[in-house]
């Protein structure tokens, strides 16, 4: 009975993950970023961070998502910082919470954070690190970012 239950649960997990398409590396799978941005995996499919650049305004938006990048996860965090390396120079980006009346999200209960910097208008690619980000009691540290490209 236990084996049958375990097999059923495993089959359900494989089916849920396989609907996201096959990824590179054989046997992996990929997820689609809801806004067409760069996905960064946090933990072992625990959560995802989507980064979306608006070159015209120099804005970088970060969306906090579940592990399959399907549902938005609201945070209480007042801000978080990504330290980007551009041309050998460290450039911090502080992400601030964004309210969205259409979804009912407010500062202190939102899945979207935005940062703005003039260098984002002309810099399409960079690497960086988020020192720490806490999501629903799970703390993720030293999150490596490659934009575009991610890490998912």
Average pLDDT for 2-28: 39
pLDDT in tens, 55-88: 999 999 999 999 999 999 999 999 999 999 999 9
Residue 7: its pLDDT value, please? 39
Write down the pTM of the prediction: 0.79
pLDDT in tens, 107-149: 999 999 999 999 999 999 999 999 999 999 999 999 999 999 8
User: pLDDT class for 45, splitting at 50, 70, 90?
Assistant: confident
Residue 90: its pLDDT value, please? 97
Using omega within 30 degrees of 0 as the cis cutoff, is the peptide bond preceding 148 cis?
yes
- Domains of the chain are 31-147 (2.60.40)
CA 56, CA 115: separation in Å to the nearest integer? 14
What are the b/e assignments for 126-135, b being 16+ CB within 10 Å? bebbbeebeb
Q: 135: number of CA atoms within 13 Å, CB side?
A: 22
Instruction: Tally DSSP H helices, then E strands, for the chain.
Output: 1, 8
């Amino acid at each position: 009975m236990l084996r049958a239950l375990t097999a059923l649960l495993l089959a359900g997990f494989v089916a849920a993950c396989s609907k996201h398409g096959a990824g590179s590396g054989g046997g992996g799978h990929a997820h689609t970023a809801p806004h067409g941005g760069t996905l960064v995996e946090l933990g072992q499919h625990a959560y995802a961070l989507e980064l979306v650049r608006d070159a015209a305004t120099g804005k970088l938006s970060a969306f906090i998502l579940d592990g399959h990048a399907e549902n938005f996860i609201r945070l209480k965090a007042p801000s978080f910082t990504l330290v980007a390396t551009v041309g050998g120079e460290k450039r911090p980006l502080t992400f601030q919470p964004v309210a969205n009346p259409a979804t009912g999200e407010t500062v202190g209960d939102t899945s979207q954070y935005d940062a703005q910097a003039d260098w984002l208008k002309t810099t399409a690619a960079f690497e960086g690190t988020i020192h720490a980000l806490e999501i629903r009691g799970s703390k993720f540290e030293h999150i490596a970012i490659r934009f575009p490209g991610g890490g998912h």
